[in-house]
Structure formats: structure tokens, C-alpha cells
Amino acid sequence: MKPVLLKDDIYWVGAVDYNLRNFHRYSRSPQGSTYNAYIVKDQKNVLFDTVDEEYCDELLKRISEIMDPTEIDYIVCNHMEKDHAGSIERIVEVCRPEKIFCSAMGEKSMKAQFNTEGWPIQVVKDGERLNIGKRNITFLETRMLHWPDSMVSYLEEDKVLFSNDAFGQNVATSSRFVDEYDRTLLSHAMKDYYYNIILPYSPLVLKTVERIGKLGLQFDIIAPDHGLIFRTQDDIKFLFDTYVEMATQPYKLRAVIAFESLWGATKKMAYAVGDGLQSVGVPFTIIDAQENHCSMVMNELADSSALILGSSTRNNMPLVNMLGVIANVKGLKPKNLVGAAFGSYGWSGESPKMINDELVAMGVEVVAEPVKAYFGPNEAELKACFELGQKVGLALKEKVNA
């Protein structure tokens, strides 16, 4: 793949990973991903970010089609995570840049991960401007969006934002721009990425969007470090609208039932809960935690506001994959959820109460008592599951219609 022109003297030179199936070790990426890097040619030639170490040769090849890599004067490191900075040591060795720009936390992270002796590192402050000839770059810190070192770079004259991990998606395709891609697939990829990466930092997303508005920044192009590039006003508006909605997490009329079953009893209970939801007009998704990666629950929560979890009991606790689901959801801190718990047992039966307590700890509004079945489930226990589904569904409809 050749370098891709974004605007005069501004190029994409990154890499496409078509085979990535596990992003950051917890988010499934069935479409792979991209590691985006960008070149700006001016009196000072600037490389914005690098790529995963595995794809360093591709990066250098694409740079070479624009200029000799030794002609790169500056490197801007918006973020030091390895998928963006994994090849930085080799790039510095080849390019011998005059300066390497990063945030204060970026310098700390850079020195902790790489042998930076002799590197011309220059820390930039929030709001600092850098002239590179005809153009000026403004650096804006975006701490904890999603790392302490994160910042974005705004190319003022061209109205281009190199947005780091913000606004990214896991998409691997020969297309480089959003307007060349299906909007429905894009929306799904944005939600998958946001709910598994950015969600805990939603308050910071809203503050960042507000700050951009107050600064009066305008955009012709938003170029993230993963996925497709936004270059039309319609797509940029869609991007900001979608991010604000995901960050505010309004109630949505859909439920997620996730379960793990040892011998099939809890599975029967899960489907009875689903019948209860359906009886009051609430659509739902059922996820078997043993057959699906735990991030699938977060993917579905992007369009849902009810979380109902169930598990068999083994060794006085929920099954291991359900524990993974709980840990993943808990760490990502979704808001505005109603829910409940259920499960089966053969000996002691602690699982439903333990799940219920975890839901409460997550901030989920539990609207029904846990339901548990001894072996079974018998007719009465299935009826209790059906009624649990109804209670959750009716509570959710009240929230949506409030």
C-alpha cells in the first residue's frame, strides 16, 4: 500500500494489521486494526507517531516513497503505548531527528520503555505552539484519554487534528477514509472501540469536546491513530455526535443477558429471563460467557441499558468466565444501567448473591431479587426467572421514558 495523501504535503504512512484478533488483550477485533502514522512536509518535516514494532519496515518503506527518512526533522509522540511507539527506537536510529516532542508524562513513559540515551527529547506543555515553516502545531494534553501521557496535535493552518487514540476504531481495510466505508459498520466499530477502551474516561471526553468548542478549533480532517480518517464535515459531525452520546450514556431500550452454565440449568434460566423481557416489549441479547470473549458484553452494552448476569455455582463462587465478565465490566465503569442476577447450584448456591453484590458495586440499579435454582430449574424457578425479566424490562422502560 502506498502513502495516502490527506492534504498538500500531509500523508498517511501507517500500517494495516489484517490479522489482529485481540486488541490490548481484552477487546476482540474481528476486522483487525491499523496503526496510523502521519508525515507533514514543511521547512521542518514532521513524523506524527510510529507503528507497532512488527510493522516498522512498512512504515520506513512508505516514508521512503515521500522522502529519505533521514530528512525527517521532528518526531511527535502523542502517546507512548507500544502499538504507537513500538518502533520508535529504530526510527530514531534511522532518521536521527533534531527533536522528539512529547508530553511530560510521555517523556517519563518513553525513558521507562526505551534506551533514550542521547535522544533529543523536548517536552511540550499543554497549549504550546511549534512553528515548522508555513505551519504551526498546537499541542493539547488529553491526560487519561486514555493514558497519562496522551496528547493531540492540531495543525492550525490545515485544520487537521492528529487525535491519538481518541476517535479511533479497529478497522482493517484498504480504504483510509470514513466516507469510503459503510456507515453502519463504522458505527459498530466506533462503539466496540469506545466501550472497550475509552468508556472509563467518558467525563474527560465531554470535557475535551467542550474545550475544543471553547478554543474555537475547526477541523477539515480528524486523523486518529487507529482506523479510518474523517475528512468530510458530515462525517466529523457524526463523529462528535456519536462520541457525546457514548460519553453521556443515555438509557437505551435493550437488555444484555450474559450467563455461564455448567450443565445447562443456568442456560435455561437465561432464556426464561429473556422471555420475561420480551413479554414487556424489551429486546435483548443473550451471551454465553463460555463461548464468547468477555468484551462481547461491553460491545452489546453500547446499545443496551440493562445488564442481567447469571452463573452456576462451583467452589462457592461463579464460574471463571463469568468472573471475567464481571471484572471486565467493573473496570470499564459503564453508567446508567438497571439489572439483576440469577443462577443454579447443586451444593451451596452462593453465585446469584455474589453476582448481585458485584452489580451493586458497579453502580447498577438492581431492580429484582436474585433468582436461584437447585439443579432444575423447575417450573416455579423458571416462572421466577420470567418475572425477573419482566421486572428488569419494566424498570428499564420507565428509565427510557422518564
Count: domains in the chain: 2
Would residue 188 show up in a list of annotated catalytic residues for this protein? no
Same domain, 230 and 279: no
Show Cβ contacts of residue 119 under 8 Å, excluding neighbours closer than 6 positions. Answer: 92, 100, 110
From 248, 283, 298, the end of a domain falls on 248
357: domain CATH number is: 3.40.50.360
Same domain, 240 and 366: no
Residue at 39 is within a domain: yes
Would residue 226 show up in a list of annotated catalytic residues for this protein? yes
- Residue 25: CB atoms within 10 A of its CB come to 6
Distance, CA of 189 to CA of 184 (rounded, Å): 9
Would residue 81 show up in a list of annotated catalytic residues for this protein? yes
* Rounded (5°) CA angle 176-126-119: 75
Complete DSSP assignment for 338-358: EEEEEEEESS---HHHHHHHH
Tens-place pLDDT, residues 11-44:
999 999 998 877 776 666 677 999 999 999 999 9
Distance, CA of 204 to CA of 238 (rounded, Å): 19
Same domain, 262 and 387: yes
Would residue 293 show up in a list of annotated catalytic residues for this protein? no
Q: Exactly one of 79, 194, 195, 381 is catalytic; which is it?
A: 79
Q: Exactly one of 17, 226, 293, 358 is catalytic; which is it?
A: 226
Same domain, 13 and 152: yes
Same domain, 196 and 51: yes
Distance, CA of 44 to CA of 155 (rounded, Å): 13
Distance, CA of 87 to CA of 83 (rounded, Å): 9
Distance, CA of 357 to CA of 284 (rounded, Å): 23
114: domain CATH number is: 3.60.15.10
Distance, CA of 139 to CA of 102 (rounded, Å): 9
Cβ burial 211-242 (10 Å sphere, 16+ → b, else e): ebeeeeeebbbbbbbbbbbbbeeebbebbbeb
Above pLDDT 90, what percent of the chain?
Answer: 92
Q: Exactly one of 52, 83, 107, 141 is catalytic; which is it?
A: 83
Show Cβ contacts of residue 3 under 8 Å, excluding neighbours closer than 6 positions. Answer: 11, 12, 13, 39, 62, 63, 65, 66
Q: What confidence category does residue 1 fall into, taking pLDDT thresholds of 50, 70 and 90?
A: confident
Q: Cα-atom radius of gyration of the chain, to the nearest Å?
A: 24
Domain encompassing residue 296 = 256-396
In this prediction the pTM is: 0.93
Tens-place pLDDT, residues 88-136:
999 999 999 999 999 999 999 999 999 999 999 999 999 999 999 999 9
Residue at 401 is within a domain: no
